[in-house]
């Protein structure tokens, strides 16, 4: 039975999740729109804000549905995965989905959902499936800890599963949309990117006492920007 406290907690998680989605989209759109790369929520209404063509929107959604076989009546249906944000590339002739971003403020046992859809999307469509998280438990006032563990060597099940079943996981600081901090970090990164001298991490705080150590699969949010640019270049070749 769902209690009132459970309902409040679920509502709060949903609100926080939407905040993170908006923050991720805001940062990436500010830095990548001039490269014809756009970030949109993975819904019809979200895609309408970027793609001005109903047929293309339907095509994008249909392409990202996954086949589901029902044993009870032996029918094959299509289901829509856990798709928070689409990474879209606008070419001269069409729109292309470069990847899917799943946003989680924290996991709290929901990492299995992320890894299931990550594996299903990568196998079914050969599209990049990545996760962005604040790893919020590292700032817990009573029992601060990273849900990833201290490092690869001292890892948790969350980290091991994400490393195995999504393309990459990126850690981001906790921002409020349109705050001075997010504007400052976007400007700092943009200037460094144009100069080709990005030497420090802008969008994460690896110096925090309980921050996990990076590895090949767990990276700062800054690396997502470089990865998306690289994915575009691979398409352009």
Interval 65-123: pLDDT, tens: 777 777 787 777 666 666 689 999 998 888 999 999 999 988 876 676 777 666 777 77
Average pLDDT over residues 143-171: 92
**Could you tell me if 179 and 186 are in contact, meaning their C-beta atoms sit under 8 angstroms apart?**
no
How far apart (Å, rounded) are the C-alpha atoms in residues 133 and 169? 7
Residue with tokens 């990568």: 122
How far apart (Å, rounded) are the C-alpha atoms in residues 18 and 233? 30
Residue 7 pLDDT grade (very low, low, confident, very high; cuts 50, 70, 90): very low
Nearest residue to 88 (alpha-carbon basis) of 78, 100, 79, 77: 100
Gap between the terminal Cα atoms of the chain: 55
What domain count does the chain have? Answer: 1
pLDDT given at position 92: 85
How far apart (Å, rounded) are the C-alpha atoms in residues 21 and 177? 10
Residue with tokens 């830095």: 31
Nearest residue to 20 (alpha-carbon basis) of 230, 203, 201, 209: 203
Phi-psi label, residue 74: left if phi above 0, alpha if psi -120 to 50, beta otherwise = left
The runs of H, that is alpha helices, within the chain are: 4-32, 44-48, 54-63, 111-125, 157-165, 180-195, 221-236
Parallel, antiparallel, or unpaired: how do β-strands 85-90 and 128-133 relate?
unpaired
Q: Which domain holds residue 69?
A: 4-236
> Please, how many CA atoms are within 13 Å of residue 96, restricted to the half-sphere of its CB?
17
Does residue 1 have a pLDDT over 70? no
Nearest residue to 224 (alpha-carbon basis) of 85, 55, 47, 125: 85
Q: ∠46-184-17 over CA atoms, to 5°?
A: 35
Max Cα–Cα distance, the chain, nearest Å: 60
pLDDT higher at 212 or 91: 212
Token digits of residue 23: 């923050």
Residue 182 pLDDT grade (very low, low, confident, very high; cuts 50, 70, 90): very high
Does residue 5 have a pLDDT over 70? no
- Mean pLDDT is lowest, of 19-33, 76-90, 140-154, 176-190, for 76-90
């Amino acid at each position: 039975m769902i209690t009132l406290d459970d309902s409040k907690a679920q509502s709060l998680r949903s609100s926080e999740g939407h905040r993170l989605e908006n923050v991720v989209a805001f940062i990436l759109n500010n830095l990548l729109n001039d490269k014809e790369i756009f970030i949109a929520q993975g819904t019809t209404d979200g895609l309408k804000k970027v793609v001005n063509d109903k047929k293309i929107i339907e095509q994008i959604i249909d392409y990202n549905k996954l086949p589901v076989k029902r044993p009870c009546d032996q029918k094959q249906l299509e289901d829509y995965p856990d798709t928070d944000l689409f990474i879209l590339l606008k070419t001269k002739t069409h729109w292309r989905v470069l990847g899917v971003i799943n946003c989680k403020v924290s996991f709290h046992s929901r990492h299995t959902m992320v890894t299931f859809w990550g594996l299903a999307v990568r196998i079914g469509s050969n599209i990049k499936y990545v996760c962005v998280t604040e790893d919020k438990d590292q700032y817990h006032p009573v029992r601060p800890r990273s849900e990833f563990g201290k490092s690869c060597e001292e890892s948790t099940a969350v980290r091991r599963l994400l490393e195995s079943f999504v393309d990459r996981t990126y850690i981001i600081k906790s921002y409020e949309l349109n705050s001075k901090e997010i504007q400052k970090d976007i400007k700092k990164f943009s200037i460094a990117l144009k100069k080709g001298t990005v030497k420090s991490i802008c969008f994460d705080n690896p110096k925090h006492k309980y921050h996990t150590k990076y590895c090949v699969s767990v990276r700062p949010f800054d690396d997502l920007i470089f990865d998306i640019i690289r994915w575009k270049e691979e398409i352009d070749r």
